[in-house]
Homo-oligomer: A and B are copies of this chain.
Protein backbone atom coordinates (compact mmCIF):
# COMPACT_ATOMS: atom_id res chain seq x y z
CA UNK A 1 0.00 0.00 0.00
CA UNK A 2 2.65 2.45 -0.92
CA UNK A 3 1.83 4.70 -3.80
CA UNK A 4 -1.84 5.12 -4.54
CA UNK A 5 -1.46 6.58 -8.00
CA UNK A 6 -4.58 8.69 -7.75
CA UNK A 7 -5.53 8.47 -4.12
CA UNK A 8 -7.88 5.64 -5.03
CA UNK A 9 -7.21 2.33 -3.37
CA UNK A 10 -6.73 2.23 0.36
CA UNK A 11 -7.75 -1.13 1.70
CA UNK A 12 -8.55 -4.57 0.45
CA UNK A 13 -12.19 -3.72 0.11
CA UNK A 14 -11.42 -0.73 -2.03
CA UNK A 15 -9.14 -2.84 -4.12
CA UNK A 16 -11.94 -5.31 -4.53
CA UNK A 17 -14.36 -2.66 -5.69
CA UNK A 18 -11.80 -1.48 -8.23
CA UNK A 19 -11.89 -4.98 -9.61
CA UNK A 20 -15.64 -5.37 -9.67
CA UNK A 21 -16.14 -1.98 -11.20
CA UNK A 22 -13.72 -2.73 -13.98
CA UNK A 23 -16.50 -4.69 -15.64
CA UNK A 24 -18.94 -3.06 -18.00
CA UNK A 25 -21.91 -4.17 -19.98
CA UNK A 26 -20.35 -5.20 -23.22
CA UNK A 27 -17.70 -7.40 -21.74
CA UNK A 28 -17.67 -11.02 -22.60
CA UNK A 29 -15.28 -11.71 -19.78
CA UNK A 30 -11.96 -10.20 -18.90
CA UNK A 31 -8.57 -11.78 -18.33
CA UNK A 32 -6.45 -11.13 -15.28
CA UNK A 33 -4.10 -8.84 -17.15
CA UNK A 34 -6.85 -6.71 -18.62
CA UNK A 35 -8.55 -6.59 -15.26
CA UNK A 36 -5.34 -5.53 -13.53
CA UNK A 37 -4.88 -2.82 -16.10
CA UNK A 38 -8.39 -1.44 -15.68
CA UNK A 39 -8.34 -1.66 -11.92
CA UNK A 40 -4.90 -0.13 -11.70
CA UNK A 41 -3.57 -2.95 -9.56
CA UNK A 42 -0.65 -5.36 -9.86
CA UNK A 43 -1.38 -8.62 -11.62
CA UNK A 44 -0.44 -10.76 -8.67
CA UNK A 45 -2.82 -8.88 -6.41
CA UNK A 46 -5.66 -9.19 -8.87
CA UNK A 47 -4.98 -12.87 -9.35
CA UNK A 48 -5.20 -13.47 -5.63
CA UNK A 49 -8.30 -11.38 -5.01
CA UNK A 50 -10.07 -12.85 -7.99
CA UNK A 51 -9.45 -16.32 -6.62
CA UNK A 52 -11.18 -15.35 -3.40
CA UNK A 53 -14.06 -13.67 -5.17
CA UNK A 54 -14.55 -16.70 -7.38
CA UNK A 55 -14.61 -18.89 -4.31
CA UNK A 56 -17.33 -16.66 -2.91
CA UNK A 57 -19.13 -16.76 -6.26
CA UNK A 58 -19.06 -13.01 -6.69
CA UNK A 59 -17.06 -13.68 -9.82
CA UNK A 60 -17.20 -16.56 -12.22
CA UNK A 61 -14.42 -17.98 -14.21
CA UNK A 62 -14.47 -19.88 -17.44
CA UNK A 63 -10.88 -20.66 -18.33
CA UNK A 64 -9.24 -17.27 -18.58
CA UNK A 65 -12.44 -15.31 -18.96
CA UNK A 66 -13.71 -13.80 -15.74
CA UNK A 67 -17.21 -12.39 -15.35
CA UNK A 68 -19.40 -11.03 -12.63
CA UNK A 69 -21.02 -13.86 -10.78
CA UNK A 70 -24.48 -15.01 -9.97
CA UNK A 71 -24.24 -14.14 -6.32
CA UNK A 72 -23.94 -10.47 -7.21
CA UNK A 73 -27.13 -10.76 -9.17
CA UNK A 74 -28.87 -12.33 -6.20
CA UNK A 75 -27.60 -9.79 -3.75
CA UNK A 76 -28.48 -6.97 -6.08
CA UNK A 77 -32.06 -8.13 -6.14
CA UNK A 78 -32.20 -7.82 -2.39
CA UNK A 79 -31.14 -4.20 -2.42
CA UNK A 80 -33.76 -2.31 -0.50
CA UNK A 81 -34.54 0.71 -2.62
CA UNK A 82 -34.96 -0.94 -6.00
CA UNK A 83 -36.77 -3.93 -4.61
CA UNK A 84 -39.39 -2.03 -2.71
CA UNK A 85 -40.07 0.46 -5.46
CA UNK A 86 -40.11 -2.15 -8.20
CA UNK A 87 -42.53 -4.39 -6.37
CA UNK A 88 -44.94 -1.53 -5.94
CA UNK A 89 -44.43 -0.23 -9.44
CA UNK A 90 -44.71 -3.21 -11.74
CA UNK A 91 -48.51 -3.36 -11.93
CA UNK A 92 -48.71 0.39 -12.26
CA UNK A 93 -46.13 0.34 -15.02
CA UNK A 94 -47.98 -2.43 -16.79
CA UNK A 95 -51.13 -0.31 -16.80
CA UNK A 96 -49.20 2.64 -18.09
CA UNK A 97 -47.75 0.56 -20.84
CA UNK A 98 -51.15 -0.71 -21.84
CA UNK A 99 -52.77 2.69 -21.93
CA UNK A 100 -49.92 4.40 -23.77
CA UNK A 101 -48.45 1.58 -25.84
CA UNK A 102 -45.03 3.12 -25.30
CA UNK A 103 -41.98 2.08 -23.31
CA UNK A 104 -42.24 2.68 -19.58
CA UNK A 105 -39.32 3.27 -17.24
CA UNK A 106 -38.76 3.49 -13.53
CA UNK A 107 -35.65 5.08 -12.09
CA UNK A 108 -34.24 6.25 -8.82
CA UNK A 109 -31.77 8.97 -8.16
CA UNK A 110 -28.19 8.37 -7.22
CA UNK A 111 -26.32 11.62 -6.70
CA UNK A 112 -26.14 13.28 -10.09
CA UNK A 113 -27.49 10.39 -12.09
CA UNK A 114 -30.60 8.31 -12.41
CA UNK A 115 -30.41 4.54 -12.17
CA UNK A 116 -32.99 2.64 -14.13
CA UNK A 117 -34.57 -0.11 -12.07
CA UNK A 118 -37.38 -1.34 -14.30
CA UNK A 119 -38.27 -1.20 -17.96
CA UNK A 120 -41.32 -2.36 -19.84
CA UNK A 121 -41.44 -2.42 -23.56
CA UNK A 122 -44.53 -0.95 -25.17
CA UNK A 123 -46.54 -3.13 -27.45
CA UNK A 124 -45.47 -1.50 -30.67
CA UNK A 125 -42.58 0.57 -29.40
CA UNK A 126 -38.94 0.38 -30.41
CA UNK A 127 -36.64 -1.49 -28.03
CA UNK A 128 -35.89 0.65 -24.98
CA UNK A 129 -32.58 2.44 -25.08
CA UNK A 130 -31.97 2.05 -21.38
CA UNK A 131 -30.94 -1.10 -19.63
CA UNK A 132 -32.07 -2.10 -16.16
CA UNK A 133 -29.26 -1.02 -13.89
CA UNK A 134 -28.16 1.53 -16.46
CA UNK A 135 -27.37 5.14 -15.57
CA UNK A 136 -28.84 8.26 -17.09
CA UNK A 137 -27.70 11.87 -16.77
CA UNK A 138 -30.04 13.72 -14.46
CA UNK A 139 -30.10 16.98 -16.42
CA UNK A 140 -30.72 15.48 -19.84
CA UNK A 141 -33.63 13.16 -19.21
CA UNK A 142 -37.26 13.61 -18.25
CA UNK A 143 -36.77 11.09 -15.45
CA UNK A 144 -33.91 13.13 -14.09
CA UNK A 145 -35.59 16.49 -14.39
CA UNK A 146 -38.76 15.20 -12.76
CA UNK A 147 -36.74 14.28 -9.71
CA UNK A 148 -34.45 17.26 -9.74
CA UNK A 149 -37.42 19.61 -9.76
CA UNK A 150 -38.34 18.43 -6.29
CA UNK A 151 -34.83 18.20 -4.92
CA UNK A 152 -33.23 20.81 -2.66
CA UNK A 153 -31.77 23.83 -4.44
CA UNK A 154 -28.30 22.76 -3.34
CA UNK A 155 -28.61 19.61 -5.40
CA UNK A 156 -29.54 21.56 -8.48
CA UNK A 157 -26.53 23.77 -7.96
CA UNK A 158 -24.34 20.72 -7.61
CA UNK A 159 -25.62 19.35 -10.89
CA UNK A 160 -25.05 22.66 -12.62
CA UNK A 161 -21.61 22.98 -11.07
CA UNK A 162 -20.67 19.56 -12.41
CA UNK A 163 -21.36 20.88 -15.88
CA UNK A 164 -24.36 20.22 -18.09
CA UNK A 165 -22.81 17.79 -20.46
CA UNK A 166 -24.25 17.78 -23.96
CA UNK A 167 -25.56 14.39 -25.05
CA UNK A 168 -27.19 15.66 -28.19
CA UNK A 169 -27.57 19.02 -29.89
CA UNK A 170 -30.79 19.48 -27.90
CA UNK A 171 -29.39 18.85 -24.42
CA UNK A 172 -30.04 21.81 -22.15
CA UNK A 173 -26.71 23.40 -21.35
CA UNK A 174 -27.83 26.70 -19.95
CA UNK A 175 -28.42 26.60 -16.17
CA UNK A 176 -31.02 29.35 -16.42
CA UNK A 177 -33.04 27.39 -18.95
CA UNK A 178 -32.80 24.31 -16.81
CA UNK A 179 -33.99 26.15 -13.72
CA UNK A 180 -36.91 27.63 -15.61
CA UNK A 181 -37.92 24.17 -16.75
CA UNK A 182 -37.62 22.82 -13.22
CA UNK A 183 -40.00 25.53 -12.04
CA UNK A 184 -42.50 24.52 -14.70
CA UNK A 185 -42.15 20.88 -13.79
CA UNK A 186 -42.73 21.62 -10.15
CA UNK A 187 -45.88 23.49 -11.13
CA UNK A 188 -47.25 21.05 -13.66
CA UNK A 189 -46.12 17.75 -12.17
CA UNK A 190 -44.71 16.58 -15.47
CA UNK A 191 -41.21 16.67 -16.92
CA UNK A 192 -40.66 16.36 -20.64
CA UNK A 193 -37.73 15.95 -22.92
CA UNK A 194 -37.36 15.89 -26.68
CA UNK A 195 -34.16 14.38 -28.00
CA UNK A 196 -32.08 15.82 -25.19
CA UNK A 197 -30.49 12.51 -24.31
CA UNK A 198 -30.93 10.31 -27.35
CA UNK A 199 -31.59 11.72 -30.80
CA UNK A 200 -35.14 11.09 -31.94
CA UNK A 201 -36.38 9.93 -28.56
CA UNK A 202 -38.90 11.81 -26.47
CA UNK A 203 -39.91 11.21 -22.92
CA UNK A 204 -42.35 12.41 -20.28
CA UNK A 205 -41.92 11.67 -16.60
CA UNK A 206 -43.39 12.31 -13.20
CA UNK A 207 -41.71 12.24 -9.82
CA UNK A 208 -42.71 9.54 -7.36
CA UNK A 209 -43.02 10.21 -3.65
CA UNK A 210 -43.26 7.86 -0.72
CA UNK A 211 -46.31 8.25 1.50
CA UNK A 212 -44.02 10.08 3.91
CA UNK A 213 -43.47 12.72 1.24
CA UNK A 214 -39.92 11.63 0.61
CA UNK A 215 -38.88 11.79 -3.03
CA UNK A 216 -38.05 8.29 -4.22
CA UNK A 217 -37.77 8.29 -7.99
CA UNK A 218 -39.65 8.81 -11.21
CA UNK A 219 -41.73 6.97 -13.80
CA UNK A 220 -41.64 7.81 -17.46
CA UNK A 221 -43.15 7.03 -20.81
CA UNK A 222 -40.92 7.42 -23.83
CA UNK A 223 -41.20 6.95 -27.51
CA UNK A 224 -40.14 7.99 -30.94
CA UNK A 225 -39.89 11.78 -31.06
CA UNK A 226 -42.10 12.38 -34.06
CA UNK A 227 -45.67 11.93 -33.10
CA UNK A 228 -44.92 11.78 -29.40
CA UNK A 229 -47.51 13.86 -27.65
CA UNK A 230 -46.54 14.37 -24.04
CA UNK A 231 -49.80 16.13 -23.22
CA UNK A 232 -51.79 13.14 -24.27
CA UNK A 233 -49.93 10.91 -21.84
CA UNK A 234 -49.70 13.46 -19.05
CA UNK A 235 -52.81 12.44 -17.10
CA UNK A 236 -51.88 8.76 -17.20
CA UNK A 237 -48.35 9.43 -16.03
CA UNK A 238 -49.43 11.71 -13.20
CA UNK A 239 -52.03 9.14 -12.16
CA UNK A 240 -49.43 6.39 -12.20
CA UNK A 241 -47.12 8.39 -9.96
CA UNK A 242 -49.92 9.00 -7.48
CA UNK A 243 -51.01 5.40 -7.58
CA UNK A 244 -47.46 4.40 -6.85
CA UNK A 245 -47.36 6.55 -3.77
CA UNK A 246 -50.46 4.82 -2.53
CA UNK A 247 -48.98 1.41 -3.20
CA UNK A 248 -45.83 2.35 -1.34
CA UNK A 249 -47.79 2.58 1.87
CA UNK A 250 -47.05 -0.38 4.13
CA UNK A 251 -49.23 -3.23 2.91
CA UNK A 252 -50.20 -1.34 -0.20
CA UNK A 253 -48.43 -3.64 -2.60
CA UNK A 254 -48.46 -7.36 -2.60
CA UNK A 255 -47.86 -8.20 -6.23
CA UNK A 256 -44.72 -8.94 -8.21
Contact = CB atoms under 8 A, between A and B. Distances in A.
A75 B20 contact: yes
A31 to B, nearest CB: 14
A76 interface: yes
By DSSP majority rule, is chain A's interface helix, strand, loop, or mixed? mixed
Interface stretch (A128-136, A139-147, A156-164): A128-136
- Copies of this chain per assembly: 2
A254 interface: yes
Contacts of A167: none
Q: How large is the interface on A (under 10, 10 to 19, 20 to 34, 35 or more residues)?
A: 35 or more
Given A13-B12, A52-B13, A73 B77 contact: yes
B13 A53 contact: yes
Interface in A24-66: 24-25, 27-29, 49, 52-53, 56-58, 60
A67 interface: yes
A62 to B, nearest CB: 9
20 contacts: A11-B52, A12-B12, A12-B13, A13-B13, A13-B49, A13-B52, A13-B53, A13-B56, A20-B75, A68-B75, A70-B82, A70-B115, A73-B76, A73-B77, A73-B81, A73-B115, A74-B76, A74-B115, A76-B79, A128-B256
